[in-house]
Chains A and B, each alone.
Chain A
């Protein structure tokens, strides 16, 4: 069974640009979570989607947005990139919503903003 996949693996952008990151959950999983892992800050929760709806949002500005498609894959969009957006962006999926369902993580997308 394939795990969570993310694309691209690496990305280099400049300040002010926009970026889209993609995540495909494990087959059968309906919930998708996005996290930002910046150096020294651990994982910061960004967004949680379940059944196409945004269920929860972390403490990030509105230029961080996303969506979940009918096939449960998800996109994370970041507008007006800033240097501090440089980080590893992790996607996770779970069988359903709620913490009783284990989150399985993808390998991440490494974003560098110059």
Chain B
């Protein structure tokens, strides 16, 4: 069955430290890949997406993600986190362009001052 796994339910990092959030998927082919952020009072927002081409994708708010076919992964990274990055992050996949999006269960990011 198609699935998206975010292994870390909670992650805590210090402000200014680097961040990597993990995402793995199980599909036969290369899916459409997304990262969303859900901040309190701000709803769900698309950070970045990968459909094809360059495997390193730049997104908004200084985030990037790298698609690694061999590892079936699409990890989200940020070189230096800010207190405002505290939120819940969701990885999501779609099998083809007309398919629904399947979301992972999310990783809640906590920032230490």
- A: residues with CB less than 8 A from B are 3, 33, 35, 40-45, 48, 55-56, 58, 90, 92, 97-100, 102-103, 105-108
Beyond known contacts A33-B101, A90-B44: 5 more, CB 8 A cutoff: A43-B92, A55-B98, A90-B43, A99-B94, A105-B44
A55 to B96: give the CA distance in the assembly, Å: 14
A106 to B105: give the CA distance in the assembly, Å: 19
Q: Is the CB of A42 within 8 A of B106?
A: yes
Which chain B residues numbered 58 to 108 have a C-beta less than 8 Å away from chain A?
Answer: 90, 92, 94, 96-106
- With a CB–CB cut-off of 8 A, which chain B residues contact A43? 44, 90, 92, 103
Interface size band for B? 20 to 34
Q: List 18 A–B pairs whose Cβ atoms lie within 8 Å, in order of A's numbering.
A: A3-B43, A33-B100, A42-B103, A42-B104, A42-B106, A43-B44, A43-B90, A43-B92, A45-B100, A55-B98, A58-B100, A97-B98, A99-B96, A99-B97, A99-B101, A102-B46, A103-B101, A105-B43
Distance (Å) between the CB of A63 and the closest chain B CB? Answer: 20
- B: residues with CB less than 8 A from A are 32, 43-46, 49, 51, 90, 92, 94, 96-106
- With a CB–CB cut-off of 8 A, which chain B residues contact A58? 100
- With a CB–CB cut-off of 8 A, which chain A residues contact B90? 42-43
List the A residue with the shortest CB-CB distance to B91: A42
Q: Is the CB of A106 within 8 A of B43?
A: yes
- With a CB–CB cut-off of 8 A, which chain B residues contact A107? 43
List the A residue with the shortest CB-CB distance to B31: A99
Q: Is the CB of A100 within 8 A of B97?
A: yes
A41 with B105: in contact, given A90-B44, A100-B51, A102-B46 (CB under 8 Å)? yes
- With a CB–CB cut-off of 8 A, which chain B residues contact A48? 100
State the 3 A-B residue pairs at the shortest beta-carbon distance, nearest first: A42-B105, A105-B44, A43-B103
Distance (Å) between the CB of A68 and the closest chain B CB? Answer: 16
